[in-house]
Amino acid sequence: MEIIQEHGTIFMFLAIIFGLYMCWGIGANDVANAMGTSVGSGAITVKQAILIAAVFEFAGAFIAGGQVTKTIRKGIIDPAPIANNPELLVYGMLAALLAAAIWLMIASSKGWPVSTTHTIVGAIVGFAVVGIGPDAVKWQKISTVAASWIVSPIVGGGIAYMLMISIRKLILNTDNPFQSARKWGPLYVFMVGFITALVTLWKGLKHLKLDFSMAESFFISALIGLIVAYMGKRMIDKVKLDVEADREYHFASVEKVFMPMMVFTACAMAFAHGSNDVANGIGPLAAVVSIVQSGGEVAQKASLPVWILVLGGVGIVIGLATMGHKVMQTIGTKITELTPTRGYCATLASAVTVVLASKTGMPVSTTQIAVGAVMGVGFARGIGALDMRVIGGIFLSWLVTLPAGGLLAAAIFFIIKGIFGS
């Protein structure tokens, strides 16, 4: 208790610094991955991607980021055994943040496609095992998180598959694909707004003091969907049939219809990513803040201060603006296989899956879901070639991340403990 009171300000300061560092890392690397499909398909430029990400990442973190933050903060470990030594939890969360941020930087510089979510979960488990004891880890919860790593890409893939099939049925396999695209385009845009809004509203936005019933949620989502669909229709109507390009490739004009539609899925993706991944940075930060502010109480019922969500959003945007654009530039030139129709399916499916998971409080990996969604399009015979070897490599990097984050966090935990004592 005395340690908390004595060094409270330092802990807060460190937590904010480490939290910002982590959020910066998320913005620099992860966001770029999330926006990659949109930039790669040529629907939006890197500049637009940064702008969209800045606004919607922030909105996602602020509006829907609370649930996952809660899971990260207190869903993974049970702090009851150290109720009398709250400083241990503070050390641990600080260690987890720093370890995750460092690992993220190492992995990014090596080009390993690690997940920020896996990193932070591994780090928290790592310090808990050495700092509190294996019993403190809620293994039950960990196993559901681990299960979601399998389930969520499959869900994302399944949705992408169905979207791909529906586009084929309604648009590509008709007498006049361009006319069909213009006709159905607004519906697809409606889906982006409607589904994203619906899953966001589903559980209510308690920390914003907004709580809607099921019927109200449906109504509001439909309204948002209609507004977005109207905007989409205005943009789609501007697309002209390009006879010259169609001679070369029959669906050139259809793809052009999907270009403006991708803008909406990019927004949804940024929103989804913000709602899920910002928690990786601010979850531990929020835990430290709540302990310090309560004077050393490992409070279970502390609410999440809004300024922390804001801080997380700002951190991500800074990371995106400083490093993310470079990453996106390289991605943009690499993913040429993703045409707007394919990109649309993959991105919307990922976005929906991520917000869905976020609302259940499940910390999922955005990259992993995006990979699953792209595979879904591939299984619908929509992509020329998927390199299955890469799946193994990606999977391996994710597996390595758990112990790496854990060991790093454990080491830092002991360093911090050595500095401040216990």
Q: What is the DSSP string of 160-203?
A: HHHHHHHHIIIIITSS-HHHHHHHHHHHHHHHHHHHHHHHHHHT
Query: x/- site string to other proteins, residues 210 to 229, per CB under 8 A?
Result: --------------------
Question: Residue 199 is encoded by which pair of tokens?
Answer: 């899953």
Q: Smaller CB distance to other proteins: residue 324 or 361?
A: 324
In the complex, minimum distance from the CB of residue 393 to other proteins, in angstroms, rounded to a whole number:
8
* From 76, 279, 371, 416, residue interacting with other proteins (rule: CB under 8 A): 371
CB atoms within 10 A of CB 418: 10
- Measure the CA–CA gap between 234 and 154, rounded to whole angstroms: 34
> In this chain, which of 109, 140, 244, 421 binds other proteins, going by CB under 8 A?
109
**Which residue number, 215 or 388, has a Cβ lying nearer to other proteins?**
388
Q: Quick one: 422 exposed, middle or buried, by C-beta within 10 A (0-12, 13-18, 19+)?
A: exposed
Does 390 engage in binding with other proteins (CB under 8 A)? yes
| Contacts (CB under 8 A) with other proteins, residues 241-260 | 249-251
Q: Which of 369, 383, 404, 408 binds other proteins (CB under 8 A)?
A: 383
Asked if 56 and 274 count as a contact pair (C-beta separation under 8 A), the reply is: yes
Q: Is 170 among the residues that bind other proteins (CB under 8 A)? A: no
Among 187, 226, 321, 386, indicate the residue that binds other proteins (CB under 8 A).
386
Residues 111, 108: Cα–Cα separation, whole Å: 5
Q: Three-state SS across 209-236?
A: CECCCHHHHHHHHHHHHHHHHHHHHHHH
Residues 28-47 touching other proteins, rule: CB under 8 A, are 28-29, 32-33, 36-37, 40
Stretch that binds other proteins, among 309-317, 354-362, 388-396, 400-408 (CB under 8 A): 388-396
Backbone angles phi, psi at 4, to 5 degrees: -65, -45
- Closer residue to other proteins, CB minimum distance, 209 or 389: 389
Nearer to other proteins, 2 or 175 (CB): 175
Q: Rounded CA gap, 46 and 403, in Å? A: 34
- Write out the residues near other proteins by the rule CB under 8 A: 28-29, 32-33, 36-37, 40, 105, 108-111, 113, 164-165, 168, 172-175, 249-251, 323, 326-327, 330-331, 334-335, 337-339, 341, 367, 370-371, 374-375, 378, 380-391, 393-394
